């Protein structure tokens, strides 16, 4: 293997695949980045066994020569070291050459790095995914779906399947649900060409968070392939593979109440900020619980107190307030995350009593639903 490449392109590719590389891996070869050079260009692969990211740098792009190949080949180089070396090279011209077995030289300007690589054949193979079973989502919509659901996954491993987001196909509708059993986030979206063979998968929350970091805010389509064990997200430059979580995802539809006793329409941003302030004192006792009470005159009061520090009270005017009066307590953190997912619009909150789960949705549409279980304090 011997080739020259422009450093900024190599760095951009490394930046993507490095997101999959973990220093905590127990598989030594996965501390490396695999480099494959063919006559078409260079493929970089990074993986932590759960997530695998692959990026391709073509020989030529938009008429610009990016790579000049003298000899094709493959090698695995220690990821963190290779990335740091490339970042600090003195010029934009980089030459990479395997001289003997896995001995690799990186040259740039008057710098010469000699690295001991690993045999590329030892690097794990990627799963083979049939490209005919794919559907597409615009990148910005996919990013929204992730942002609106993934925060609600369980962080504890006591029920591993709850650390992922359930993607379920129902006709032309993709239903994405996450829950940690104290709150639930659901996003529905209508899409074409949804798969009919694999109709319910659980994608690890960690994978979706990493994917979200890599995806740019465009409306270019992301191609998605679902199999029973893997999901592949494919953009122009990047292939993102994730292992799926095993186990049956619970049926959450019956958790969502259908009748309500108190219904409030309120500005989401005002409520978010008031709860943020109340949580300053709520946090001190570590339970992070705030109280919410309906008052006269289309007003609600948010309050919390900490016996040692003090208390806080705040009244907010609501857009509308229908049904029974209510005193309820809930986690400030859950409420703030739910409101952030609905994002600044007027929100509708529907309650069925102080000890029953309540739901939040945008006043504009039903696509996003957030459910929160209250905390008993009154």
Where do contacts with a second copy occur on this chain (CB under 8 A)?
A: 78, 81, 84-85, 88-90, 104, 110-116, 273-274, 276-277, 280-281, 284, 305, 308-316
Distance in Å, CB of 311 to a second copy, minimum: 5
3 state SS of 215: coil
- Structure-token match 């994405």, residue found: 176
Pick the closer one to a second copy by CB: 84 or 246: 84
Nearer to a second copy, 112 or 172 (CB): 112
CB of 116 to a second copy, least distance (A): 5
Give the residues across from 94 on adjacent strands. 5
CB of 136 or CB of 270, closer to a second copy = 270
Minimum CB distance to a second copy, residue 75 (Å): 13
Which of 83, 242 has the CB closer to a second copy? 83
Closest Cα to residue 286, out of 301, 303, 304?
304
Report in angstroms how near the CB of residue 313 gets to a second copy at its nearest. 5
Query: In the complex with a second copy, which residue's Cβ is closer, 70 or 317?
Result: 317
DSSP result, 133-189: GEEEEEHHHHHHHHHHHGGGS-SSSSSGGGGEEEEEEETTEEEEEEE-SSEEEEEEE
Cα 131 to its chain centre, rounded Å, is: 23
Q: Are 53 and 110 in contact (CB under 8 A)?
A: no
Please report how close the Cβ of residue 255 comes to a second copy at its closest, in angstroms.
Answer: 33
The structure tokens listed for 208 are 């979706």
Find, among 378, 376, 373, the residue nearest to 180 by Cα. 373
Nearest CA to 343 out of 371, 374, 316, 368 is that of 368
Residue 93 tokens read as 């011209």
Residue (124 or 310) nearer to a second copy, CB: 310
> Is the Cβ of residue 85 or residue 198 nearer to a second copy in the bound state?
85
DSSP one-letter code for 368: E
Q: How many CA atoms lie within 13 A of 250 on its CB side?
A: 15
Q: DSSP label at 24? A: T
Q: Identify which of 175, 148, 168 has the alpha carbon closest to the alpha carbon of residue 362.
A: 148
Q: How far is the CB of 346 from a second copy (least distance, A)?
A: 18
Whichever of 74 and 104 has its CB closer to a second copy, that residue is 104
- Smallest distance from the beta carbon of 14 to a second copy, in angstroms? 15
CA distances from 350 to 123, 187, 234, 298, 359 (A): 53, 17, 39, 15, 5
Shortest approach of a second copy to residue 284 CB, angstroms? 8
């Amino acid at each position: 293997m011997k080739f020259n490449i422009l450093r900024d392109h190599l760095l951009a590719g490394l930046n993507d695949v490095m997101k999959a590389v973990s220093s905590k891996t127990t598989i030594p070869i996965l501390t490396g980045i695999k480099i494959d050079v063919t006559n078409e260009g260079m493929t970089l692969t990074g993986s932590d066994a759960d997530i695998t990211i692959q990026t391709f740098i073509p020989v030529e792009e938009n008429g610009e020569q990016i790579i000049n190949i003298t000899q094709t080949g493959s090698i695995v180089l220690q990821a963190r070291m290779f990335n740091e070396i490339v970042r600090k090279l003195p010029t934009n011209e980089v030459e990479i050459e395997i001289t003997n077995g896995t001995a690799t030289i990186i040259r740039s300007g008057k710098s010469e790095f000699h690295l001991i690589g690993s045999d590329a054949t030892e690097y794990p193979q990627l799963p083979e995914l049939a490209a005919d079973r794919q559907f597409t989502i615009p990148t910005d919509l996919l990013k929204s779906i992730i942002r609106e659901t993934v925060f609600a996954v369980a962080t504890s491993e006591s029920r591993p399947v709850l650390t992922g987001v359930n993607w379920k196909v129902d006709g032309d509708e993709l239903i994405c649900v996450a829950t940690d059993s104290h709150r639930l986030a659901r996003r529905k979206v209508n899409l074409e060409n949804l798969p009919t063979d694999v109709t319910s998968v659980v994608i690890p929350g960690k994978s979706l968070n990493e994917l979200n970091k890599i995806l740019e805010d465009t409306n270019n389509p992301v191609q998605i392939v679902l199999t029973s064990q893997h999901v592949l997200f494919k953009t122009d430059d990047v292939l993102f593979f994730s292992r799926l979580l095993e186990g049956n995802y619970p049926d959450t539809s019956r958790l969502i109440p259908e009748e309500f006793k108190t219904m409030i329409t309120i500005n989401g941003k005002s409520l978010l900020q008031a709860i943020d302030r109340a949580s300053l004192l709520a946090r001190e006792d570590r339970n992070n619980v705030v109280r919410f009470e309906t008052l006269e005159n289309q007003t609600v009061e948010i309050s919390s107190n900490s016996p040692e520090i003090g208390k806080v009270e705040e009244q907010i005017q609501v857009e509308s307030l229908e049904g029974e009066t209510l005193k309820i307590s809930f986690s400030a953190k859950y409420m703030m995350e739910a409101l952030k997912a609905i994002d600044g619009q007027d929100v509708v909150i529907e309650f069925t009593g102080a000890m029953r789960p309540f739901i939040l949705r945008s006043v504009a549409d039903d696509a996003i639903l957030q459910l929160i279980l209250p905390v008993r304090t009154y």
